[in-house]
Amino acid sequence: MPGKKMHTGLSICGGGILGIGPLTILKNLEKDLQDEFGDPNLQIQHFFDCYAGTSTGSIITALLVSGISAQKAFRIFKNNAKNIFTKYPWYKRVKPKCPTYDHSYLFRVLKAYLGNSKMNALPYPTFIPTTRMNGKKAVEKVWDDRDDELLRFAVATSTAAPTYFDVIEKDGQSYCDGGLWANDATMVLESGMKLRFPESKLRVLVLNTGMSVPSKAYGNMSLIGWAKYLIDDWVARTGNSNCFEAMANLGKENFMRISPMIEEPIELDKVERLAEVIEIWETHYTEVKKDLLAFVKNEAKKESESV
């Protein structure tokens, strides 16, 4: 990898159960690439050599960098989504600081599939944002290949969404969801790769887990109205600037973002809408399939020609 002239990265945003969407794209893409190259054992990892993922995106990223195919990762996510969002008993949730969901099931899933793999032993450059707190200030933290830390711990910290799951504590530090500052990890990926391989170029595919929702607010609003707008609409769009910068830095031909349009946002813990989310992304895949395959195969062609 150090001598490569071009790297191809995959960046996956956070979004709770909505993570089944990017996995729908990836498992379909993987299957079509297997058919295209006549190799049933081909995995999506053959086409990407660096990864970034926040919150739910970190789960998907971790499964892929651990060698799990996109099709298997899809099944793992789908089969475990309901149990991951298991509520604490009511008598615990009446306490003001108790989050809604018990993260112990998620921890068991992460241990089962990620084992004791460490960040600094992964086969690909991998970047997982989290938010580190020590009681004095919040600190943006990116787990990467310089960290002698368990991959599953890094993922657990990135998925600790406030009010949904407990913060994660270790060695006097508290960690919560990386989505608080980098729900879209595209610039984290670009920056990390630039530091490691300053002479190389980068191509990036971004999967926007939260999808695109039209803003229905306009004109002057009250203080409460503006607060609701910022929380419901604008925070969800904080990744747009990352993509704008990445496209400008990398060039339009080296950047692709997949983001289905939906009329109303879907809450990240609505497990009962899992099938609906899958259908949205299945439909969107048929719409972007031609361009997506061209984007991925173009890099594969360049790599094969350079060998």
- Quick check: 27 and 71 in contact, CB under 8 A? yes
> Phi and psi for 170 in degrees, rounded to 5?
-160, 135
pLDDT at 121 over 80: yes
Q: Is 3 exposed, middle or buried (0-12, 13-18, 19+ CB in 10 A)?
A: exposed
Q: Where does the pLDDT of residue 298 fall: very low under 50, low under 70, confident under 90, or very high at 90 and above?
A: confident
State residue 304's pLDDT score.
Answer: 41
Confidence of residue 244 (pLDDT cuts 50, 70, 90): confident
Q: Alpha-carbon distance 275 to 284, whole Å? A: 14
Average pLDDT value for the chain: 90
Residue 46 has pLDDT above 80, yes or no: yes
The predicted-structure confidence for 126-150, as pLDDT tens digits, reads as follows 999 999 987 777 689 999 989 999 9
- How sure is the predictor about 303, in pLDDT bands with cuts at 50, 70 and 90? very low
The pLDDT score that the predictor gives to residue 306 is 35
Q: What is the pLDDT of residues 165-204, one digit of tens each?
A: 999 999 889 999 998 888 899 999 999 999 999 999 999 9
d(CA 168, CA 188): 22
pLDDT at residue number 236: 56
Three-state helix/strand/coil letters over the chain = CCCCCEEEEEEECCCHHHHHHHHHHHHHHHHHHHHHHCCCCCCHHHHCCEEEECCHHHHHHHHHHCCCCHHHHHHHHHHHHHHHCCECCHHHHCCCCCCCECCHHHHHHHHHHHCCCEHHHCCCCEEEEEEEECCCCEEEEEECCCCCCEHHHHHHHHCCCCCCCCCEEECCEEEEECHHHHCCCHHHHHHHHHHHCCCCEEEEEEECCCCECCCCCCCCCCHHHHHHHHHHHHHHHCHHHHHHHHHHHHCHHHEEEECCECCCCCCCCCHHHHHHHHHHHHHHHHHHHHHHHHHHHHHHHHHHHHC
User: What integer pLDDT is reported at residue 214 of this predicted model?
Assistant: 74
pLDDT number for residue 305: 40
Kindly tell me if the per-residue pLDDT of 229 is higher than 90.
no
Residues 193-222 have pLDDT tens digits of 999 999 999 999 999 998 887 776 778 888
Structure tokens at 291: 């361009």
In this predicted structure, the answer to whether residue 228 has a pLDDT above a threshold of 70 is: no
Q: pLDDT class for 233, splitting at 50, 70, 90?
A: low
Question: What percent of the chain has a predicted confidence (pLDDT) above 70?
Answer: 91
Distance CA 183, CA 238 (A): 8
Inform me whether the pLDDT recorded for 300 exceeds 70.
no
Mean pLDDT of 40-68: 97
